[in-house]
Chains A and B, each alone.
Chain A
Amino acid sequence: MTQNVKKKVKELLESGKIKGFLGLCQKNGHIGPHLFCDPDDLESMVLGDEERPGDSRYPLNKLLIHIARSYPDETFGVLVRGCDERGLKTLYTWNQLNPDKVIPVGVACPQELADACECLRPYPEEFVEGERAEERSSASVTKISGLDVKDRFTSWMKEFARCIKCYGCRDICPMCFCNECSLEAEELIHTGELPPEIPIFHLVRAVHMAGRCIDCGLCNEVCPADIPLRTLYKKVADIIDEEFNYRPGYSEGKSPLNILGSAAEE
């Protein structure tokens, strides 16, 4: 299942087009992120499917930012699924990565994963592995939208009340690259209480995901309290699409909420 990716990466490394390839490998019994630099040492490469498809996905884009900050002049390859590619596109618009210095190597997600993710586009534009699965719409969003307004409030509060304020949703998020975070601003978010002030804590994060969230779902997977954050952010993306005809990672250009540059001056 990884033959084509390995072949492609080997070519890229041997030709010197990339300094390293950020992908996933199986080591010490774990699947984890790994920077492959030697074209003859790709044996341990995997695509992140352990027991179920895509159950070991990692925020490779985010890690690539860490490396690129120290080595801005080097070009790196990176493993991308549909969501990761949307992430790359969005990070380019926010100037967090330089598109001239990134070579994505794509894999298409199997139908099982596309279904579980309710993914609108479970494949990157170009891929060397896998087959194009069918797109899925957001049944989870439709379900909550169908509730009465009071029931919607009760249901979200029940979910948010389990929050242990680990900040995992933010820390795993490939779109969370700010140096200062509103979720740590004492004047906005009270400290020293669990759960954090709800629903404000979660809605503040939801607002910040507007025009940014590319629906990778890592926040949902990392949450120790199983709060359905992905559903919340899917709705956020739907609203931005309805109101401004923009969907991060799918549409071209900057977010309509970006206050710098042409977007705000239109």
Chain B
Amino acid sequence: MDYRTVPTTCTYCGCGCNFFLEVLDGRIIGTIPSKSGPANQGKLCIKGWHVHQFVQSPERLTRPLLRKNGNLSEVSWDEALDYTASRLKEITSAHGSDSAGFFASAKLTNEENYLIQKFARAAVGTNNVDHCARL
């Protein structure tokens, strides 16, 4: 028998709420908000309360999907990145930098969000950057 309560941070948004994940024999079975989390002080929103449900969900995407002949199929990261890079080049050289846009996410870290806007502005040359928390 292996029962653990693992302290971690919520991935749902940028607030940084702390909670413990209840792990029984390797499976996550529950979420317990941390009383000493400075951001949440023992409280959570409805999304945070259900973090344990998405982690092991069979519907969760674990690999990149690429649409081929109208159907989404699993591909390797190399293939997905190569395809994205080549199409980005094609599109921006044909239609200009502002023909591309970048969507960041609240589920990324600050550093990753910084990098995506840097990539959009410095590498591609567009200010078309947005974020799901603004929707």
Q: Which residues of A contact B (CB under 8 A)?
A: 19-20, 27-35, 37, 50, 55-59, 63, 66-67, 70-71, 74, 164-168, 171-172, 221-224
Contact = CB atoms under 8 A, between A and B. Distances in A.
Nearest to A58: B32
A118 B5 CA distance: 30
A221 B5 contact: no
30 contacts: A20-B1, A28-B7, A30-B7, A30-B34, A30-B35, A31-B36, A32-B5, A32-B7, A32-B20, A33-B5, A33-B20, A33-B32, A35-B5, A50-B35, A50-B36, A63-B22, A67-B24, A166-B44, A166-B46, A167-B46, A168-B43, A168-B44, A171-B49, A172-B33, A221-B35, A222-B33, A222-B42, A222-B43, A222-B44, A224-B43
A165 B47 CA distance: 11
Given A19-B1, A164-B46, A221-B42, 20 more contacts: A20-B3, A27-B7, A28-B7, A30-B20, A30-B35, A33-B5, A35-B3, A58-B35, A63-B30, A66-B29, A70-B1, A70-B25, A71-B1, A165-B46, A166-B46, A167-B46, A168-B43, A171-B49, A221-B35, A224-B45
Nearest to B30: A66
Interface range for B: 20 to 34
Interface of B: 1, 3-5, 7, 18, 20, 22, 24-25, 29-37, 42-46, 49
B37 A30 contact: yes
B44 to A, nearest CB: 6
Given A222-B42, A224-B45, A31 B4 contact: no
Given A165-B46, A171-B49, A32 B34 contact: yes
A222 B44 CA distance: 8
A56 B35 CA distance: 6
Nearest to B40: A224
B42 A66 contact: no
